[in-house]
Amino acid sequence: MHRKTLIIKTGSREEFLDITAKVREFIRSTGVERGCLVVFVPHTTAAVTINEGADPSVIKDLRNALHRLVPYGDRGYGHREGNSDAHIKASLLGSSLHLLVEGRELLLGTWQSIFFAEFDGPRQRQVWLSLVF
Amino acid sequence: MHRKTLIIKTGSREEFLDITAKVREFIRSTGVERGCLVVFVPHTTAAVTINEGADPSVIKDLRNALHRLVPYGDRGYGHREGNSDAHIKASLLGSSLHLLVEGRELLLGTWQSIFFAEFDGPRQRQVWLSLVF
Amino acid sequence: MHRKTLIIKTGSREEFLDITAKVREFIRSTGVERGCLVVFVPHTTAAVTINEGADPSVIKDLRNALHRLVPYGDRGYGHREGNSDAHIKASLLGSSLHLLVEGRELLLGTWQSIFFAEFDGPRQRQVWLSLVF
């Protein structure tokens, strides 16, 4: 198994960062021909998701839709830190992805990119990559 | 590792197709005794989910609930292709499943079926199956 | 591969139970140094998610937010059993997690706990743990 921790700095409270290039770079650096990649976010107010990276408005629409479904600062929350919306969004998108590697390349569809989803930034975050072969 | 690409033709814009039988058929065809199965959707306006297959009204209720939570054609979307709702639903359900195989059979609960979720059809789609053993 | 079925008894209709200690206990009992753990819920009205375990109000806020997004007893549902909301919440959170084990320990972030999410209790439920190494 090869492992790597990506360090990510987010610049605003809610932000989606395309980490596909960094993931591909990690896979190539291992030289592994074929295996399974786990992308894991070790935080409870951030997540990871796959969506279209070509048109940035897709991700903006996703961020806005989550913001509308789970409002920030809603008076009904009990958690005193005031970031319950971020915890809820994290569970809706999920904290891990499971992907395949073949021919030393990550297998993704044509329009798919991997996004780190920040819901309580700006912060310094981690993404754990593990390539099992 | 054994791999297979399922080709799926959807007939309407939003549609859930039960692909459990096709997945089971693939597993049996490999003859693999025990392993892990990754079900991956290489699209950004479709997803894969597990839910009840016995009563079709369950899946209709799921489709309707997603439609209500993330309306089609909402004026607030920035993405010009007009299918932002489909991208958002795809991230809410997710693009992969990770299942177990034992005794040459897929391990699922009694009421569980695997559904391909189309959110921007009708289209021809792919589902990538990979059995790691 | 090591496998174990956790038996869980839930006490109310909607309830999140922290199963992290039971998962860690299983991993230690196997003596496995390094591998991948699949946590799978074989039900269609329950789910599994990772979120903060330190402050119980976080999980209450998550439960309430899901309850608000997908109301119980909504007249629009077609499924006659009356638990369509539970099926929908199950698909929103998902039925499996994929985690890593290293140094005989489960790799989780500081604030992360694993929660079994009951949406149609009280019931006796199962969680399937599989450690692939």
Reported ipTM: 0.96
Enumerate the residues of chain B whose CB falls inside 8 A of the CB of residue C128. 100, 107
Best CA proximity match to C84, nearest among B19, A30, B51, A59:
B51
Enumerate the residues of chain B whose CB falls inside 8 A of the CB of residue A57. 77-80, 84
Cα gap B46→B42, rounded to integer Å: 8
List pLDDT tens digits, range A105-123: 999 999 999 999 999 999 9
Check A95 against C50: CB less than 8 A apart: yes
Q: What does the pLDDT read at residue B23?
A: 98
pLDDT at C62 exceeding the cut of 90: yes
Q: What does the pLDDT read at residue A6?
A: 98
Enumerate the residues of chain C whose CB falls inside 8 A of the CB of residue A44. 50-52, 58, 109, 111-112
Q: How confident is the model at residue B87 (pLDDT cuts 50, 70, 90)?
A: very high
Cα gap B121→C91, rounded to integer Å: 20
Helix (H, G, I), strand (E, B) or coil at C21: helix
Domains and CATH numbers, chain C: 2-132 (2.60.120.460)
Nearest CB to B62 within list C1, C76, C88: C88
Count other Cβ atoms within 10 Å, centred on residue A25: 11
Least confident window among A50-64, A111-125, B59-73, C68-82: C68-82
Helix (H, G, I), strand (E, B) or coil at C37: strand
Q: What does the pLDDT read at residue B61?
A: 97
Q: What does the pLDDT read at residue B130?
A: 96
Using a CB–CB cut-off of 8 Å, the residues of A that contact B are 34, 36, 49-52, 55, 57-58, 60-62, 64-66, 69, 92-94, 97-100, 102, 107-112
